[in-house]
Amino acid sequence: MNNIRSKFDQLVKEIKGNTKIETVHLKWKPATPVEKNVAGIAFYKKIIKSTFGETMPEDFIYGSEVCNNTHLCWRGEYNGETFWGETFLPSVTDLYAELPGGIQIEQYHEIEPKPDLKKLSRIDYHREIGDIHGTYYDRTNGNMLFQYKWDMYKLNLSYQEYLDKLCEMRGIALWPFFFTETKPEYPDQALLDKTKVALNYFFSNE
């Protein structure tokens, strides 16, 4: 079994069995394992090449088993405040889709040169919470970028590391800020620290 598949299996198990949080949405139907989907992967590669003139990144192949329109969303109360966690991982066939309204960015942080927005694939975002919180993969260089509100930040993570950390952080809102090159004015460090404390509370074994 793919290591990332086993991590997602564990994540789903933790969310479903956790009495400290409420499961708002859970769709988990892994795709065919890569090693058993040779023909399917070859088909995807052919379509991407013929349609977009690009070679499909190996990262997309690596993540294809767990990135199958997977949707996990939860919320919990801690110290009188509500905390949310969410991830929506589009399938490989949707990673090249043009987003309605495009990608709207007002400020880039530590990202030079600015990316070609047409070469960005949105690999993770929030559908339920309603905030502007999305992660992008730059198909020209493999860089990982995080959008919060109208700002975009560079992540100090590879694609595969991102999936690992997503499981480790249980998708709690704002978690990518722990791995950005630049720290935002908002959310400030106090809120990020509070988020980490809440995460430990929700998913501790105590």
pLDDT digits (tens, 9 = 90+) for 99-108: 988 999 999 9
Q: Between residues 187 and 87, which one has the greater pLDDT?
A: 87
For 164: left if phi > 0, alpha if psi spans -120 to 50, otherwise beta; the answer is alpha
**pLDDT for the residue 206:** 46
- For the chain, give the longest Cα–Cα distance: 53
Q: Which residue has the tokens 């939860």?
A: 74
113 cis-preceded (ω within 30 degrees of 0): yes
Q: Between residues 82 and 183, which one has the greater pLDDT?
A: 82
pTM of the model: 0.95
Where is 63: in which H helix or E strand? helix 58-63
Q: For residue 57, name the pLDDT band (cuts at 50, 70, 90).
A: very high
- Answer whether residue 50 shows pLDDT above 60: yes
Which residues, at least 6 apart from 79, have a Cβ–Cβ distance to it below 8 Å? 198
